[in-house]
Amino acid sequence: LEGRIQEELRQLDMPKVQFSIQFTEEEMGPGGMDSVRFLMSANVGEALRPIQKVASGGELARIMLALKNVLAEQEAIGTLVFDEVDTGVSGRAAQKVAEKLAQVSRRKQVLCVTHLPQLAAMADTHFSVEKGERDGRTYTEVVLLDRQRRTAELARITGGSKVTDALLESAGELLDGAEAYRETL
C-alpha cells in the first residue's frame, strides 16, 4: 500500500516525498484496538513525522487524492467524489492533479467540485453550479456547459469578474490542451 501511494504522489509532482503508515495495537477502547498514523517527509533529509504536523494544504490535497485512488483500486468503488481536492494547489501541481483525475476517470466515475481552471478544463463534462435568490428564497441552479460557455466560465474563474479577450483566448487554449491530453489516455 505504501509503495502504491508513494508512486501516486510522484505522479502528482511530489517526487521526493516519503510516506509511511504506522500501525500499532493498543488496549481495546472506544476507538477500537488499532492505532493508525500517516507519516511523511516532504523534503530530502527530513525525518518522517505525523502528516498533520508537516503537510501543507496543497500536500494534504494531493495525499488525499493519492489515498483515494489507491483505495478505490482495491475496492469495487464505481464513483469517487472530490470536493475541492485542489485546495492549496496551483500552477504545475494543479495540472498534475488534473491529469491524475483524468486518468482515474478512465476507470471510475469522478465527480469533482473545483475552482481551478486546470481541473475544470480537464473534465469530460462540465457543469456550473450557481446559487442565487428569487422571491426571497435561495435556490441553486446547475447548468451543463457547452464549449462556448465552458470557455467563458474558465475565463471567469481565471480572471474574476472582468472577462477579457485575452482571458477567453487563454481559456480556449486550456480546453484544447486538456482535450489533447485526454485523447492520449
Please give the biggest Cα pair distance in the chain.
64
Contacts of 147 by beta carbon, 8 Å cutoff, 6+ apart: 175
What confidence tens digit (pLDDT) does each residue in 103-144 have?
999 989 999 999 999 999 999 999 999 999 999 999 999 999
More confident residue, 150 or 59: 150
Average pLDDT over residues 15-40: 89
Whether pLDDT at 31 is above 90: no
- Other Cβ atoms less than 10 A from the Cβ of 58: the count is 20
pLDDT for the residue numbered 109: 94
- Are 178 and 120 contacting, i.e. CB atoms less than 8 angstroms apart? no
- Provide the CB-side half-sphere exposure for 88 (13 A, CA): 10
SS percent in the chain: helix, strand, coil, step 5: 45, 25, 30
The DSSP code for 54 is H
From the list 114, 101, 110, the residue with the least C-alpha distance to 181 is: 101
More confident residue, 75 or 101: 101
Position 18, amino acid: Q
pTM of the model: 0.78
Interhelix angle 91-104/2-11, nearest 10 degrees:
120
What confidence tens digit (pLDDT) does each residue in 153-174 have?
999 999 988 999 999 999 999 9
Contacts of 77 by beta carbon, 8 Å cutoff, 6+ apart: 71, 108
- Are 57 and 88 contacting, i.e. CB atoms less than 8 angstroms apart? yes
